[in-house]
Structure 1
């Protein structure tokens, strides 16, 4: 099984970059879905990411060779491609039926499942301090998203359907991430992402409507392109973080992404209220945010056995 390099500081930095980018992504996607369908948005994100990464690796002379490709597990590559593609569609469908904050709450099942997968499959271990951090993290989420969780319990119809789709998105993402970590035995993180981007772009080509992209105004076109850049940079940072740090600790840091989302929603709703409706933070929510951050720090920085 793949073993991390041990450069935990670099892994932490890359994880924090991923958190920021994934935290602001639901807002950009929610705005983009006002003018484009799910499949076109997903196809565009993958095709742009593939093209830019291919150019970058080509200039640096680091494109994967045939020998390297043959050494990788075809089954794991297929799993990574299919499950990441499924995650993108399910998450966008769920986002369209709920809201950025609620979608980001539910998708946090993904890093939690990744963390437990790291414990089971890669034989990573939590210390007592880290397990206490998990407990604090759970309590923090319950407090921080108290109002959103109440909405999930009392909601009906499309809102519940969106929640269910987001839960499925979290499950398939965890499977993708575990497959990617194992692929690091035979390929670099950049090579893995190049193959995954290309494979996902091919999967969505028959369902996309590229001509609708040219009808976008400057604002929505710019936001769509920023979503593609977000995909490229965030997943590149995430893949590289798994190279240097344990999956269980990377997943703990990723769990703070909803805080970035809620803060970003507040900022955007003030600057451009016509794009995103504000999310109201209570004192309970602020306390929950503090506990979430404290729990993630305890998990991420606690010494492993």
Structure 2
């Protein structure tokens, strides 16, 4: 089993970087989907990121050796299929939902990953983290308070979008769990290069690259930004898993919808033709605060962090006293 490096502060920074980039992603994708289908958008994002990593690894003579997989090709297959299904389903859901709602539902993904990492990797899940998860889920319920009636009483495009996003969240969890185990054979960059190119290969028969010429200037720049987002965000996520427990990384990513709503609100004031803010009531804002609080508690378990720091100080002091005694 893969063991995290223990550099939790680096893992935290990488996880936050991923959260910010993923928070911006649906805002940038929404205008692009007006002129390009989900499969083609996904193909451009994956092939561009995969080729950049291929060139970079080849230049450094660090291309992955498949012999290191030691027959565990099924892990690679799970990661590739999981990610490609997640990418396509995410965009299919985004076409039916607002950017904010999309990010709220996709937050089931880190919860699925959290639960999977506890069961499969036997990662610790303390009582304080359990309370944090309960607070986080309560926040989700409040965040959705304006949508529950529509969601539970009608089979609309909105309902279909929600179901598609739940599927996208589940497939992402399978990808994340498989990728974490692959870190025992390859580096995070090597893993992402193989997964990106593998996903792009699966989508090639259905992609229509010529749709690129149907985009206007703004949409072209947004598509480029989405491609860069794919490269940096998933690279940061993969590296975060190398340094921090998957359960904590997944919990920190729960702040992503808050970033989406905040950026959408600001963006709607600056570019109202391209970005629409989603109205929130008091309960929704309360839910947002609870999501952030629950996410932080679940990810960090502040009491345990303080205990670890205190223990390190005591061990350091004991070592210094021992040194003085020896002299």
Quote the Cα distance in structure 2 between the aligned partners of 1:277 and 1:153: 25
Runs of 4+ with >6 A deviation? none
> CA 1:263–1:110 in structure 2 vs 1: closer, same or farther (change >3 Å)?
same
Aligned to 2:14: 14
Q: What is the RMSD of the two structures over their aligned residues, measured on CA atoms?
A: 1.6
Q: Distance in 1 between matches of 2:215 and 2:284?
A: 37
User: How far did residue 63 of structure 1 move?
Assistant: 1.9
In 2, Cα distance between the equivalents of 1:60 and 1:27?
35
* Larger mean Cα displacement after TM superposition, 145-154 or 241-250: 145-154
Shift of 1:66: 4.8
Match of 2:92 in 1: 93
**Which residue pairs with 1:278 in the alignment?**
277
* Pairing 1:40–2:45 present: no
Alpha-carbon distance between aligned partners in 2 of 1:147 and 1:72, rounded to the nearest angstrom: 49
CA contact (8 A) 1:30 1:96 kept: yes
Deviation at 1:286, TM superposition (A): 2.2
Aligned to 2:184, what secondary structure does the other structure show? coil
CA deviations on 1:220-240 (whole Å, 9 max, x unpaired) are 001011111111111111011
Q: Deviations over 1:133-181 (max 9, x none)?
A: 1111111222233224444234432221111111111111101110101
Shift, 1:65, TM fit: 3.2
Unaligned runs of 5+ in 2: 309-327
Contact 2:35-2:214 within 8 A present in 1 as well: no
CA contact (8 A) 1:102 1:148 kept: no
Could you tell me whether the CA contact under 8 Å between 2:43 and 2:200 is conserved in 1?
yes
Offset from partner CA, 1:214-257 (integer Å, 9 cap, x none): 23221100101111111111111101111111111001001111
Within 1, Cα distance between the matches of 2:93 and 2:135? 27
**Structure-2 residue corresponding to 1:153:** 152
TM-score by length of 2: 0.89
Partner of 1:191: 190
Count of equivalent residues: 304
CA–CA distance in 1 between the matches of 2:84 and 2:262? Answer: 28
- The answer to whether the aligner puts 1:162 opposite 2:161 as a matched pair is yes
Corresponding position of 2:223: 224
Task: State whether residues 269 and 276 of structure 1, in contact with CA within 8 Å, keep that contact through their aligned partners in structure 2.
Answer: yes
After superposition, residues 257-296 of structure 1 pair within 5 angstroms as 257-296=256-295
Measured in 1, the distance between the counterparts of 2:71 and 2:47 equals 22
Q: Which ranges of structure 1 fall in alignment gaps of 5 or more residues?
A: none
Distance in 1, matches of 2:214 and 2:283, equals 44
Aligned to 2:60: 60
Q: How far off is 1:291 after superposition?
A: 1.5
Aligned-partner Cα distance in 1 for 2:234–2:55:
17
Q: How far does the alpha carbon of each residue in 1:96-122 deviate from its partner, in whole angstroms, 9 at most, with x for none?
A: 112111111111111000000010000
The answer to whether the 8 Å contact 2:128/2:298 transfers is yes
Shift of 1:283: 2.5
2:47, 2:200 within 8 Å by CA — same for their partners in 1?
Answer: yes
* TM-score, scaled relative to structure 1: 0.95
Mapping 1:119-138, distance limit 5 Å = 119-138=118-137
Partner Cα separation in structure 2 for residue 269 and residue 62 of structure 1: 44
Q: In the alignment, is the contact (CA less than 8 A) between 1:88 and 1:169 conserved in 2?
A: yes
Show CA shifts across 1:69-103 (max 9, x none).
x5362111011111110111111111111211111
Name the CA shift for 1:296/1:52 in 2 (closer, same or farther; >3 Å).
same
Contact 1:18/1:238, CA 8 A, preserved across alignment: yes
